[in-house]
Structure 1
């Protein structure tokens, strides 16, 4: 099997990013989103140096992505970003998520971020394990954080400090 290569996402990757994101939306195990997204709707994710977006590919085929986004608009949170990471169903368990996170965290440091965080459904064991392997800590649980198809859902909050930018 060819190795996984990770690189910054481009506009040409948007159809694959949307397809993988839509798999996650349909699966109902990784996001509160219920409406699938088009590549055009995701275009705004690109071109923001302070919020890296990376893709993992093998043999020229995008198998996963990770993206940082703004946390809060207040200036005091300028170095904090939320992130999402998604792997195509057929590529799960093949190290794609690990490759993405291994490249993403240094990219976030280079972007000047000092913390990245996310919220994960408690039963999403794969995402929680991925985060643990890459130095995230589970901070706590937001109970009844949102409704998904009429059912209240909890989320586990994970965070990782990027020490290089905490001086």
Structure 2
């Protein structure tokens, strides 16, 4: 799947160093995640679905990634997944995030995922807009849901229900 010179491919372990670098850049913004350090490949790998891991490649360099993780180990939530998406700083605002999310949505539906959700810090307006552009909607607001360093953070809960998988 391509758009210009950017290709969307399944993430492999060989991409991890570049994925981790982008993740660390997101951590450094203070508005992307509650994580304060990037995990090892083994830890990250264990927490994400194997079928829903994508990288955006431009000139053999990973410039963005997206993945799904289960929201619960309870069987009733087998069709619900949490979205993670990160872009290299110089590739933000170029449509790559939308490419990644559209591909992730298609893959999720082909794997019987009926609901995608995302928790996004309220100050991360570009991420909220990106998710809304592919059909997510804000379904909630969590005030001071967690502390990042010494700062309480609020976030929006966004959701996208499949129109082709699960209850319609």
Does TM, scored on the shorter chain, surpass 0.5? Answer: yes
- Hey, what's the Cα distance between the residues in 2 that align with 1:95 and 1:132? 14
Which of 3-12 and 37-46 deviates more?
Answer: 37-46
2:105 equivalent to 1:105: yes
C-alpha separation in 1, matches of 2:64 and 2:141: 26
**Residue 22 of structure 2 aligns to a residue in which SS?**
helix
C-alpha distance in 2 between matches for 1:37 and 1:26: 14
Distance 2:16 2:48 in 1: 9
Where 1:163 maps in the other structure, the secondary structure is: coil
The alpha carbon displacement at 1:45 in A equals 5.2
Q: 1:157 to 1:46 in 2, by over 3 A?
A: closer
Deviations along 1:31-89, one digit per CA (max 9) or x if unpaired, are 0111233445433356723xx01111112111000010010111110100011100001
Structure 2: gaps spanning 5 or more residues? none
Matches of 2:49 and 2:133, distance apart in 1 = 29
Aligned length: 165
- Residues 126 and 34 of structure 1: CA distance in aligned 2, closer, same or farther (over 3 Å): same
Q: CA RMSD in A?
A: 1.7
Matched with 1:114 is 114
Tell me, yes or no, if the aligned pair for 2:49 and 2:68 is still in contact at 8 Å: no
Q: Secondary structure at the match of 2:164?
A: helix
Match of 2:35 among 33, 36, 61: 33
1:139 deviates by 0.4
User: Which runs of 5 or more structure 1 residues have no equivalent in the other structure?
Assistant: none
TM-score by length of 2: 0.91
Conserved in 1, the CA contact under 8 Å of 2:48 and 2:67?
A: no
Q: Deviations over 1:71-112 (max 9, x none)?
A: 011111010001110000111111110110111100000111
What corresponds to 1:8 in structure 2? 10
Q: 2:93 matched to 1:93?
A: yes
Question: TM-score normalized by structure 1?
Answer: 0.92
Are the equivalent residues in 1 in contact too, given 2:48–2:68 (CA < 8 A)?
A: no
